[in-house]
Chain A
Amino acid sequence: AQRVTQPEKLLSVFKGAPVELKCNYSYSGSPELFWYVQYSRQRLQLLLRHISRESIKGFTADLNKGETSFHLKKPFAQEEDSAMYYCALSGRNFNKFYFGSGTKLNVKP
C-alpha cells in the first residue's frame, strides 16, 4: 500500500542555517513525488515536483529510490520559509495524491 511518512512534526532552524525536511515513501510501482507548502493564512500550493527536477525558492529535492526518500533541502533558510510542508506521492496510473502528515518549519531570526 502507498504511504508517505514525514517523521518530523516540527523543525526549527535559525535564519541562514541549512534545512532538510525528511520524506519517506512506500509504493509498489514508480511514483511521482511532490512537495506542497502552506504559508500562514494561505492556501496549499505546489512547491516542486520530482518530474521537473527544478529548484524553487532555493529548495531542491532528490528522489532516492534505494532509500525510498524524497527529502526537501535548502542550504540557507530564510524567515519567509516558515510554513507547513507536505510531501505527496502519486502513482503513474492514478490522478490522486497521497499526502504525508506534514512538517512545520519555523525559521528563527
Chain B
Amino acid sequence: DVKVTQSSRYLVKRTGEKVFLECVQDMDHENMFWYRQDPGLGLRLIYFSYDVKMKEKGDIPEGYSVSREKKERFSLILESASTNQTSMYLCASSLGGADSFTYGYTFGSGTRLTVV
C-alpha cells in the first residue's frame, strides 16, 4: 500500500549534470514537500507546494528547483549537481489545512543521491 513513491532508491550522478528526482503520491494530498536528510542536521526543507503549479522556497532552496504540473507529482531538479548535494532526499505529502496537524506527513522511502 505504498502511498508516496520516489522513483529511485539510489542514484549516482556526475558533477554538473542536471538531475531529476520524482515523487508521486496517490492520496490526493494538496501539499507536497522535498527535504534533504543529513546526519547531525536532521531534515531540512528545500521546497514545498500547496497546489498545482504553485511552489515556495524552504530553508535551503539554493541549487534546486521544483515542478508541480499535476497534483500527484512533485519533481525536484538539481540544475547542475555538485558534490555538496550528496544526500538522502525525502519527499512527503500531507492534507491541507488543519488536517495536516491531525495526520501529519506521509513520507516516501527516500532517494540516496551521490554526486561524484
Contact = CB atoms under 8 A, between A and B. Distances in A.
Interface of A: 4, 6, 9, 32, 34, 36, 42-46, 49, 51-52, 86, 90, 92, 95-102
Q: Is the interface of B mostly helix, strand, loop or mixed?
A: mixed
21 contacts: A4-B42, A36-B104, A36-B105, A43-B110, A44-B90, A44-B107, A46-B105, A49-B101, A49-B102, A49-B104, A51-B102, A52-B102, A90-B101, A92-B101, A95-B48, A95-B94, A95-B96, A96-B48, A96-B58, A99-B44, A102-B43
Contact of B50 (A6, A51, A90, A95): A95
Contacts, number: 57
A99 B42 contact: yes
Interface residues of B, number: 27
A49 B102 CA distance: 8
A102 to B, nearest CB: 5
B104 A46 contact: yes
B108 A95 contact: no
B52 to A, nearest CB: 15
A86 B43 contact: yes
B77 interface: no
B94 to A, nearest CB: 6
Contact of A101 (B35, B41, B108): B41
A86 B100 CA distance: 17
B109 A90 contact: no
Highest count of chain B CB atoms <10 Å: which of A49, A86, A97: A97
